[in-house]
Amino acid sequence: MEMIEMPKNFLWGCASAAYQVEGAYQEDGKGLTNWDQFVRIKDKTFKDTTGDVAVDHYHRYKEDIALMAELGLKTYRFSVSWARIFPEGRGAVNEKGLQFYENLVDECLKYGIEPMVTLYHWDIPAALDTAYGGWEDRQIVDDYAAYAKCLFKRLGRKVKYWITFNEQNIFTTFGWLLAAHPPGKFDAQKMFYQVNHHVNMAHAKAVLAFKQIVPDGKIGASFAFSPSYAFDCDPKNVIAKINFDEMNSFWWMDIYAYGRYPAFTWNYLDKKGLVPEMEADDKTILLAAAAKLDFMGINYYQSIVCEYNPLHGGVDPYGTMNTAGKKGTTEIKGVPGLYKNPPNPYLMTTDWDWTIDASGLRYACREVTSRYHLPIVISENGLGAFDILEDGKIHDGYRIDYLREHVLALEEAVQDGCDIISYCVWSFTDLLSWLNGYQKRYGLVYVDREEPEGSSMNRYKKDSFYWYKKVISSNGKHL
């Protein structure tokens, strides 16, 4: 394929999340979060690593943003920790928390870097869990909306790109079905769907408020989208694929884009008594918010294979994901009667067993474009690896290969007609991998940091940093 120049004003970016980079977990009036508590339960994370200090972005944001400017970054996507703004989750605002994010935004703007703010990247104020069970209770909807409004009012003049939720599918699945993230519940299916409905309502109310407060801004949600392949052309496997798509992708993306739940999944859950309870005007609110969605955010890491899964297959309904710190544990996941997910024999995997499939990124963009007709922000894409620091250098050619293939796929998607406005590499600096500590590195910038204690925290530019700099300065022509 011929390398193309990306659209004018294309937002080449990098992303991070508050808990994974900031540290300063008890500073300047911040309240504790679910993650501050969860990581203290023994054996939940690799070597019981915490984000107490993380990579100290809270104190080093100026140094980090100066490096972003050196890279030529057009946008920096970061998340706000709700508990810095409302230490109790609601009620009194903590001015120091707001000021921190305003400073971060100003620092980006100083270098012409467009800030892109995620309102929720998995850290809920612990006080709300204590008060009423957090996402399990309907009260969360209004508390989230109040938090969102507070940020829109304070930062809306300066920040034009907003993301309501990061990977709703992941934090709810890991939290209520797999017990791998807080609140650590296993197979709480009924609650899982109710929680998702609360998140959907919180998202919808935030979108509607946003359009009042920041009429010239753009808002979307970031979904961890794994496009799927049928194992082969056996019609049973093709039906397994469409079952998977509805249960695992459209169940969420349809709500953002259409404001309604997909029919197959709704019927399937209804028969099992698992559909969420809804209030009278929920449908109207969801529809109104969907009509105002500006873009679909896609976090793309891997594709998935779907195969028929007979009810008597004896497969664990959800399987287990990579255990903390463990390398290479492909498990066959699935839902008996609907589908199972075997490995893809054509593709390689990362050190953490994530399938590497650049074409899947093109596929994801095409699917979103033809199903939803929305602009797309690739809000995350990147490679987690064991990087080695040698004489101040990190030769991460494997990451360059990975990113090059994915950017090529992105350019193909643009040529296919997809309206892609941004691509964010996950991540700018190395950061805390929720379950895998600091050994799983994603950054373009290496941080001298190991578990359990921080070491020098010095930053070193990896080879991939210099590569991405050329990509950005040529607007995607030099890969």
Q: Active-site residues: which are they?
A: 380
d(CA 398, CA 426): 15
DSSP classification of residue 349: B
Residue 17 found at the interface with ligand GCO (CB under 6 A): yes
Residue 257 found at the interface with ligand GCO (CB under 6 A): no
| Per-residue mark of binding to ligand GCO, 369-408 (x: CB under 6 A) | -----------x---x------------------------
User: Is the CB of 166 or the CB of 194 nearer to ligand GCO?
Assistant: 166
Residue 439 found at the interface with ligand GCO (CB under 6 A): no
Question: Which residues are CB-contacts of 255 (< 8 A; sequence separation ≥ 6)?
Answer: 200, 203, 261, 286, 290
Q: Contact 48/42 with Cβ under 8 angstroms?
A: yes
The sign one gets for the Cα dihedral 147, 149, 152, 154 is: negative
Contact stretch for ligand GCO (CB under 6 A) within 241-249, 254-262, 387-395, 430-438: 430-438
Q: How many residues touch ligand GCO (CB under 6 A)?
A: 11
User: Is the CB of 46 or the CB of 339 nearer to ligand GCO?
Assistant: 46
Contact stretch for ligand GCO (CB under 6 A) within 23-31, 361-369, 434-442, 452-460: 434-442
User: Is the CB of 16 or the CB of 243 nearer to ligand GCO?
Assistant: 16
Residue 166 found at the interface with ligand GCO (CB under 6 A): yes
User: Is the CB of 141 or the CB of 424 nearer to ligand GCO?
Assistant: 424
Min dist. Cβ of residue 51 to ligand GCO (A): 11
d(CA 77, CA 113): 10
Amino acid identity, position 14: C
Residue 226 tokens, joined? 């794994």
Question: Which residues are CB-contacts of 181 (< 8 A; sequence separation ≥ 6)?
Answer: 38, 122, 170, 171, 174, 175, 434
Q: Please state, as a whole number, how many other Cβ atoms lie within 10 Å of the Cβ of residue 284.
A: 11
Question: Which residues are CB-contacts of 101 (< 8 A; sequence separation ≥ 6)?
Answer: 80, 84, 85, 117, 151, 154, 155
Q: Contact 476/8 with Cβ under 8 angstroms?
A: no
Q: Which of 295, 308, 426, 438 is close enough to bind ligand GCO by CB under 6 A?
A: 426
Residue 299 found at the interface with ligand GCO (CB under 6 A): yes
Residue 440 found at the interface with ligand GCO (CB under 6 A): yes
User: Is the CB of 204 or the CB of 224 nearer to ligand GCO?
Assistant: 224
Site of interaction with ligand GCO (CB under 6 A): 17, 166-167, 299, 380, 384, 426, 433-434, 436, 440
